[in-house]
């Protein structure tokens, strides 16, 4: 955990951004929730640790973490996930990321598959001229939920 947070801090520093103690803590809380949570869950966690916390505090920290590509928003669940790429100097093109979202348990898997997302983008370009896709979320049922139902 500490190593992961240190890596995130180094990644921010390399980009001239500062992972403050507060931002680092929000990232830690998200990791503690298996990497996926809604903003108000994180706010509850903050309240447990610090008492009263302004709602904007958590949102601002999440916004920063999203700018740094350490965290992504999952629109279909209205939640946030930790990026599954190791923080590092790589260029993370989030436009080329797909989110597989389980509609039963809410598990989110980030898939980095350039050819697949490229194919979808190309199709969109033909079918919906002028539409610029910025993220792809695919709804379905994860393996664990399928096994539980069988
Ligand atoms: Zn990512
Ligand atoms: Zn599931």
Separation of CA 150 and ligand 1 centre (Å): 31
Structural domain containing residue 108: 93-150
Residues 35 and 66 in one domain: yes
Separation of CA 148 and ligand 2 centre (Å): 9
pLDDT at 1 > cutoff 80: yes
Q: What is the tally of structural domains in the chain?
A: 2
Picking from 37, 53, 86, the residue at the C-terminal end of a domain is 86
Residues 75 and 120 in one domain: no
pLDDT of residue 94: 62
pLDDT at 50 > cutoff 70: yes
Separation of CA 71 and ligand 1 centre (Å): 7
Ligand positioned closest to the Cα atom of 11: 1
pLDDT of residue 114: 80
Q: What span, in angstroms and rounded, lies between the C-alpha atoms of 31 and 21? A: 15
Give the list of residues 6+ apart from residue 140 with CB closer than 8 angstroms, or none.
100, 101, 102, 103
Q: What span, in angstroms and rounded, lies between the C-alpha atoms of 72 and 84? A: 10
Eight-class DSSP state of 4 = H
Picking from 62, 86, 110, the residue at the C-terminal end of a domain is 86
Ligand positioned closest to the Cα atom of 112: 1
pLDDT of residue 122: 84
DSSP codes of every residue in 85-115: SPPSSS---GGGEEEEEETTT--EEEEE-HH
Residue 50 host element (H or E) = helix 39-50
Residues 67 and 3 in one domain: yes
Average pLDDT over every residue of 51-55: 89
CATH number of the domain residue 53 falls in: 1.10.10.10
Residue pair 87/125 in contact (Cβ under 8 Å)? The answer is no
pLDDT at 93 > cutoff 80: no
Give the list of residues 6+ apart from residue 39 with CB closer than 8 angstroms, or none.
58, 59, 62, 80
Residues 15 and 63 in one domain: yes
pLDDT above 90 coverage of the chain, percent: 63
pLDDT of residue 87: 57
Separation of CA 47 and ligand 1 centre (Å): 28
Q: Is 12 annotated as a binding residue?
A: no
Cα diameter, the chain: 52
pLDDT band for position 120 (cuts 50, 70, 90): confident
Residues 23 and 74 in one domain: yes
């Amino acid at each position: 955990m500490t190593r992961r947070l240190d890596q995130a801090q180094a990644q921010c520093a390399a980009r001239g951004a500062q992972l403050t103690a507060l931002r680092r803590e929000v990232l830690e809380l998200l990791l503690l929730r298996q990497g996926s949570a809604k903003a108000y869950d994180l706010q509850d966690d903050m309240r447990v640790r610090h008492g009263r916390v302004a709602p904007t505090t958590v949102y601002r920290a999440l916004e920063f973490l999203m700018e740094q590509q350490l965290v992504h928003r999952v629109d279909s669940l209205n939640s946030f996930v930790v990026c599954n790429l190791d923080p590092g100097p790589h260029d993370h093109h989030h436009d080329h990321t797909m989110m597989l979202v389980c509609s039963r348990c809410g598990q989110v898997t980030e898939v980095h598959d350039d050819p697949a997302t490229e194919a979808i983008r190309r199709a969109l370009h033909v079918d919906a001229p002028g539409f610029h896709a910025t993220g792809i979320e695919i709804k379905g049922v994860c393996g664990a939920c399928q096994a539980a139902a069988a």
